[in-house]
Structure 1
Amino acid sequence: MADGTEFDGTPIESRALIGSDVLAVQRGESVEVEVTGNVTPTNANLQVAGPDIDLFSQNDIVLISDCEAADLFRISSNPSSGTWAHANNVNSSNRVSQEYTDDARIMRFSANVYFVADTGRNDAQGNDIRALYRGTNNLLNSATPSFQIDEIVEGVDSLQIEYGELLPTGNMRYATADNVGNMANVVAIRVGMLISDTDQVRNNADTADYALPGETIEATTGAAAGAVTHPEDQRLRRSFVSTVMLRNRD
């Protein structure tokens, strides 16, 4: 949630809309870099080759994986040399967890955060205009990594998430983060957004409630205390929900 502690001291903490969820996505970005040598756990570096080597910088965080296991490390040497050291002064260890073959691939580690916030702009009637933002983590500085914040979609009023937890019975139940029994059993996520137009084109006030995963966005009048609400103005609104299955959770 936007009122949690995961992003204390970052622009996300001060800007994210309270009552709207925050989605963090960490992944490996495919690049043309292959492992060519020094792949045993006793080595403190890897030999690599490929046309994308020059896209990397010292202190970049990279992921090596053979689709069975993976290691994450920070490059401590000059990447253009083709020898990527992972010294323990910038890593928790200067060893990888296993021996990798030439089938293993190197990927750039990417960390993005998506959240809803006020743009600081108003519509013609003076209502706040919200948007979906993306925070991209600048991981080069190991001591104080920072987020570059970019607005990506105007008119997103709320972002809500539920987690699909696989139960011992084989059934799946969807629940909010604080109600999931075991996050290791989550095999899907359901993401919902409430979108509004910036222009007031309705003939009457919008008094509808909008069901999103784990939260109903209620019209202001008559809403319960603590409810997430939307103003009863004449903007058009629509909810969108998508379910994403997570691979390799077993």
Structure 2
Amino acid sequence: MKRQSGLSLVELMVALVLGLIVVAAVIELFISSRQLYRVQDVKARMQEDGRFAMYRIGELLDRAGYRGCASVRNQAATDDDTQTDGSQQSSGRPIQNLLTTESDYFWQLDAPVQGHNANGNVWAPAKPGALNNANVGSDILTIRTVGATYIPIIAKQASYFSVGADNGLDDCDPALEPNSCSNIVMVSNCNDFTTVFQVTNDPSNGELRYAPNVGVPGNRNEDLIGEYGPTSWVNTIASHSFYVRDNVDGTPSLYQKTLDNNAEAILEGVEQMQVTYGVDTNGDFSVDRYESANDVDFWTDVISVRVSLVMINLEDDGTDTNLALGDGSYFLEGVEVTPNDGRLRRVFTKTIMLKNRNS
């Protein structure tokens, strides 16, 4: 038998081709696995971010319209029972707003929610100028609600409330820091009125004063309607506006503006927000229809809010494209949207009932 002394050229070429095929298969498997990992990692982060955004908005909507023991429906405005949105409320315990800015957008605390529907670069109703740089085509949602701070009243004195020294309010004096010290609170009980005012002293001494013309925005007077005794309590109260704008890096982000403070980016990768409102037109505590903000006649008729957020993929290395399978289309409010930039998107939608509006 003839002994083999080596490989022929043909055999070598066949071996090289087979080796290349194996290497190519391994490389393809690696690329596919890496791409699958990228997609799953991005989807997981989008899921986490979407849930966080909905939680942030939802927890405020859960408290929207809180007025002590009464819901917004059972409260009337001071004097002529006319709200800042023009609606009429039933007779009941009124909410008294002592702030000098009660008619300004961010201080209209008698309306639990208010929105602005985007049509291109125009919003209806017109958005306040303070919500600047909002991205076109994205709605704006403002929620007015109490905070988590709860302060029981020890006693009502002639011109102040006695409370505990460790009350959770900012330890500052609005007379000395008028532009940065604004403890806005609401005092309530189950038998009398509800009053919104600014604390006009440093509350660390256990006193909550409400003198006129101190601080910003300040109180227009100190004439509280009603009696507030030891069965009363105090909550912080504020308005929070959510909208989408680009951050300093040009990334679309969800911003939150509290009262007239500077807006802060709370979450990157939110490309769009759309909001509709469940309206109760006959007072039976159920939604009769969902409307865009420009179709809502009276904001005190809104009993639920449906929020949709379009999340877009972000990666630390800037490789945000070529992740979507196919055309990456998605549905938003019943309309199919088909981007062509190769990026992943996911829509998160949640409907939240206004608990303090339905009783």
> What's 2:196 paired with?
72
| Higher share in helix | 2
After TM superposition, the structure 1 = structure 2 runs for residues 106-185 of structure 1, keeping only pairs within 5 Å, are 106-121=234-249, 129-137=251-259, 146-168=260-282, 170=284, 172-185=288-301
- Normalising by structure 1, what TM-score? 0.75
Q: Does the Cα contact within 8 Å between 1:192 and 1:242 map onto a contact in 2?
A: yes
> What's 1:241 paired with?
349
Aligned equivalent of 1:232, options 328, 333, 340:
340
Structure 1: runs of 5 or more not aligned? 122-127, 138-145, 220-230
| Higher share in strand | 1
Per-residue deviation, 1:161 = 0.9
Aligned equivalent of 2:170, options 31, 55, 66:
55
Alpha-carbon distance in structure 1 between the residues aligned to 2:264 and 2:156 = 39
> What's 2:209 paired with?
85
CA RMSD after TM alignment: 2.6
Pair 84,156 (structure 1): closer, same or farther in 2 beyond 3 Å? same
Question: For this pair of structures, how many residues does the alignment match?
Answer: 216
Per-residue deviation, 1:112 = 2.2
Alpha-carbon distance in structure 1 between the residues aligned to 2:229 and 2:283 = 38
Structure 2: runs of 5 or more not aligned? 1-115, 175-182, 315-319
Alpha-carbon distance in structure 2 between the residues aligned to 1:64 and 1:169 = 27
Q: Does the Cα contact within 8 Å between 1:194 and 1:237 map onto a contact in 2?
A: yes
Q: Does the Cα contact within 8 Å between 2:281 and 2:301 map onto a contact in 1?
A: yes
Pair 34,56 (structure 1): closer, same or farther in 2 beyond 3 Å? farther
Q: Does the Cα contact within 8 Å between 1:26 and 1:110 map onto a contact in 2?
A: yes
How big is each residue's C-alpha offset from its partner over 1:118-163, in whole Å with a ceiling of 9 and x where there is no partner? Answer: 1243xxxxxx6311112233xxxxxxxx423322222111111111
Aligned equivalent of 1:211, options 332, 341, 359:
332
After TM superposition, the structure 1 = structure 2 runs for residues 7-86 of structure 1, keeping only pairs within 5 Å, are 7-8=128-129, 10=130, 12-13=131-132, 15-31=133-149, 33-38=151-156, 43-52=158-167, 55-59=170-174, 60-66=183-189, 69-86=193-210
- Percent of residue pairs identical: 24
Per-residue deviation, 1:72 = 0.7
Q: Does the Cα contact within 8 Å between 1:33 and 1:106 map onto a contact in 2?
A: yes
SS in 2 for 1:235: coil
SS in 1 for 2:297: coil
Aligned equivalent of 1:195, options 306, 311, 327:
311
Pair 72,239 (structure 1): closer, same or farther in 2 beyond 3 Å? same
Alpha-carbon distance in structure 1 between the residues aligned to 2:164 and 2:289 = 45
Greater relative contact order (Cα < 8 A, sep 6+): 2
Alpha-carbon distance in structure 1 between the residues aligned to 2:336 and 2:198 = 42
Per-residue deviation, 1:246 = 1.0
